[in-house]
Chain A
Amino acid sequence: MNEKIYAIPDFGISNPITFNPDICIGCNKCMEVCQVDIFIPNVEKKKPPLVLFPAECWYCGCCVNECPKPGAIKLNPPLMNRVYWKRKNKNVG
């Protein structure tokens, strides 16, 4: 119980959250608002958090909603959840 504890990722099959490191200021607000706690802070200050448990993401988007820097964080719905629509009166997707 007293041995060193490691941050072991759980990647699953998805990549729900991506950051733009040029915009992200590393404030960790996304991390603090996530109820599933899928993020951990970056070892480097002012850098984007790490998504340690992407498989556990519920895709609620609260992290994106909370972000103070537009474009710093993006939610990527799983591919198989992509929905089809078409322009009315035209057959284009």
Chain B
Amino acid sequence: MHEQLFIKLEWPYPVKWNLEKEASTDILILGGGIAGCWAAIAAAKKGAKVILVEKGSTIRSGAGGSGCDHWESAATNPCSRVTPEELAVAMIKDHYGYNNGISHYIECREGYDRLIDLEKMGGKIRDLDDEFKNAEFRDEKTKFLFAYDYENKFTLRVWGTTFKPALYKECKRLGVEIYDRVMATSLLTEGGKQGARVVGATGVHGRTGEFFIFKAKATVLCMARPTRVWLFSPALPGISEFRPLQCNGDGHAMAWKAGVEFTLMEKSIKGQWSGERSYPPYGTGNTHNTWYACNMVDANGKEIPWIDRDGNILTNISQRYYPAPGQKFFLKGGGESDFHLYDFQGPDTFPVEQLLEKGFKLPFYADLPSMPELERKAIWGLMVGQEGKSKIPILQSYSDEGFNPNDDLLQSYGEGWTSASFLPRERQLFGLPGGILNDWKLRTNIEGLFAAGDQLFAADCNGHAAATGYYAGRHAADYAINASESAINYQQVTSERTRIYSLVDRINGFGWKEFNMHISRIMQNYCGEIKSDDLLNIGLKLLEDMEQNEAPKLYARNPHELIRSLEVLNILTNAKIIIHACLARKASSKYLHFIRSDYPEIDPPEWYEFITIKLMNNNVKVSEKDIEYYGSLKDNYEIVNKEYINRRNT
């Protein structure tokens, strides 16, 4: 390395610590990932003035910016044999009710509409070049390619590397005012009061340090879920988690401080993806998701058998893509949750432990060469290639190194199929984690504030982010039409400015990485796999000590470091939210991966509900919410979306 190149190298951008810019809009979108872009597009199409604030670079920002290989839950596509109701109910049941019925119904009902929109913007969603002509998974009339369940055809294989630039272009075309490299730092509320109407937000520029005040009639939170809470790699911080470094849950932290109500934040799972213990996602031999349903062999080349949900061995490859006898449809090919419900369970291999008992030898390998040609090309070339972070780091890099899908066996790592070996206390928010509680308009509990994508509880994929983003943007625009002008409380703005710039005045103290490492150590020790009031309370106290004693010593030497340091303060807040949520659920739950040594009974019926938490006058208020609070999916959806339904039908 050539550190000397950088010695006394001046910061390349003009530094504007003392400048501030104020902008006013109808709709303020915070976060320019998939959900944020769609929210901006929906609101702009309704004629609203829209500002979008993005910490990175909107053209590729967010967890889904680099690509997307399959579009789930497109239940309304012309080839689908399931209804949005059937599919959403299956998704809810498959997680024992701990799911966001509203957001996933929106995904099932409108997700396909967003795909068609994408095609009009220049995204590729069909096999127009006839690369896969006559493939079993291709519909010859529409040229759609399907994945997983070829009978029911509700998941499409797509060319998602084309999506984000298309969305960006459409935002520009519609006149959305985009503020790239600006981190939203706080929500502004009426009178500066917690729980009062949201009237805008503050931000800071990651290259210049300039301060921003955004005033809005309605605000849509579209930022990432919390990351780097348990998992942090000081050597390779950029791959601490599955999601990008700067997708760290700023939105959760600022919403919490504003008084927004959260649920399921007690749920975390043993790490599955990324970090030093993991291999590149989609880059090792496996049978799931992007690699469904690849042949596998053991160390001696012995073929690993596939079974249906009843344990019957499947005799040919094609059977892996169809429901079992008597089953209407199955959900994404197995392995997504540990507790697949029999009704929707798809084909899979024998579990690894059973394979070892049967004499199969490690390591296992993905055997692409023995797959039918079009299936092989669909996995290696289409899905590995179009999926996020797979085109350059996997498809191109491996090819450059000589990997040939026609000849080579790709090794599998970790515990069988997974590409990682995490410890139980190394946790992350994955597999429908907690987030903001929403109603049927994707409103939060606070007036003027909506949420979409990964900010919602039980959020997952690109299609979910797109559908909920568009939906929240549309409803926010409807709200703004009748909303009164908002008034900023400048005392609140001043205190936020002071908080931010105090970091750049310091010389000695802690850098952001040391700070982050300390949070993750506390969370692993006191909010790991086994939880109890005693442990959680110590963890909470240590986090509060950090907030009081160490946070005032956190420094930033340039605008870029200022962003990183503000992020770890948000991570600290998110860690506290998680501990408060864990303290609030005094029962263990298999389905929430939640073990309490002081309340060992698993899933007692009296705790079968959503526990919600929020701040009121800076005190944590715990409430309960019925597990089916969303009511009838179809009826409630249709009540609040009459205009959309009418427009779609004409």
Contact = CB atoms under 8 A, between A and B. Distances in A.
Nearest to B60: A62
B191 interface: no
B558 A5 contact: yes
Task: Give 6 nearest A-B pairs by CB, closest first.
Answer: A61-B392, A35-B56, A5-B11, A35-B61, A60-B66, A58-B244
Interface residues of A, number: 50
A52 B238 CA distance: 13
B411 A37 contact: no
Interface stretch (B125-133, B276-284, B351-359, B524-532): B276-284
A35 B369 contact: no
Interface in B73-116: none
Interface in A1-53: 1-2, 4-9, 11-16, 32-38, 40-41, 43, 50, 52-53
Interface in B249-267: none
B639 interface: no
Given A36-B238, A55-B238, A77-B280, A62 B6 contact: no
B238 A56 contact: yes
B584 interface: no
B181 interface: yes
A59 B389 contact: yes
Contacts of B235: 12-14, 55
Nearest to A8: B557
A72 interface: no
Interface in B554-610: 557-561, 564
Contacts of B181: 37
A2 B17 contact: yes
Most chain A Cβ neighbours within 10 Å, of B9, B62, B276: B9
A36 B56 contact: yes
8 contacts: A6-B558, A35-B246, A56-B237, A60-B388, A65-B66, A75-B397, A88-B367, A89-B301
Interface of A: 1-2, 4-9, 11-16, 32-38, 40-41, 43, 50, 52-53, 55-62, 64-66, 75, 77-78, 80-81, 83-89
Contacts of A41: 12
B161 A65 contact: yes
A12 B238 CA distance: 10
A15 B468 CA distance: 38
A35 B236 CA distance: 16
A40 B409 CA distance: 40
B644 interface: no
Contacts of A86: 365, 408-409, 411
B409 A1 contact: no
A64 B609 CA distance: 47
A88 B391 contact: no
B558 A85 contact: no
Interface in B372-401: 388-389, 391-393, 396-398
B304 interface: no
Nearest to A42: B12
B505 A1 contact: yes
B57 interface: yes
A65 B206 contact: no
Nearest to B558: A5
A59 B238 contact: yes
B10 A9 contact: no
A61 B397 CA distance: 10
B6 A8 contact: yes
Given A43-B9, A88-B409, A35 B65 contact: yes
Given A13-B235, A33-B57, A36-B246, 7 more contacts: A5-B559, A43-B9, A43-B12, A65-B391, A77-B397, A85-B409, A86-B409
A35 to B, nearest CB: 3
Contacts of A34: 56-57, 60
A35 B3 contact: no
A61 to B, nearest CB: 2
A35 B410 contact: no
A35 B244 contact: yes
B499 to A, nearest CB: 14
Contacts of A43: 9, 12
Contacts of A52: 6, 560
A9 B561 CA distance: 10
Interface string B49-63: 000000111011110
A89 B314 CA distance: 24
B1 interface: yes
Contact of B236 (A1, A55, A87): A55
Given A14-B236, A75-B397, A35 B60 contact: yes
Contacts of A32: 57, 59
B207 interface: yes
A6 B507 CA distance: 13
Contacts of A13: 235-236
Contacts of B184: none
B244 A55 contact: no
B321 to A, nearest CB: 23
Contact of A55 (B11, B59, B237, B410): B237
Contacts of A16: 238
Nearest to B505: A1
B635 interface: no
A31 to B, nearest CB: 9
Nearest to B395: A61
A75 B392 contact: yes
A80 to B, nearest CB: 7
B504 interface: yes
A5 B12 CA distance: 9
A47 to B, nearest CB: 12
B279 A64 contact: no
A85 B410 contact: yes
Contact of B407 (A2, A40, A53, A88): A88
B245 A7 contact: no
A37 B505 CA distance: 23
A81 B281 CA distance: 10
A32 B13 CA distance: 13
Given A2-B17, A59-B238, A61-B66, A40 B501 contact: no
A61 B396 contact: yes
Contacts of A11: 1, 3
B481 interface: no
Contacts of A58: 238-239, 244-245, 389
Interface string B279-299: 110011000000000000000
A61 B9 contact: no
A36 B245 contact: yes
B238 A57 contact: yes
Interface string B299-336: 00100000000000000000000000000000000000
A9 B65 CA distance: 26
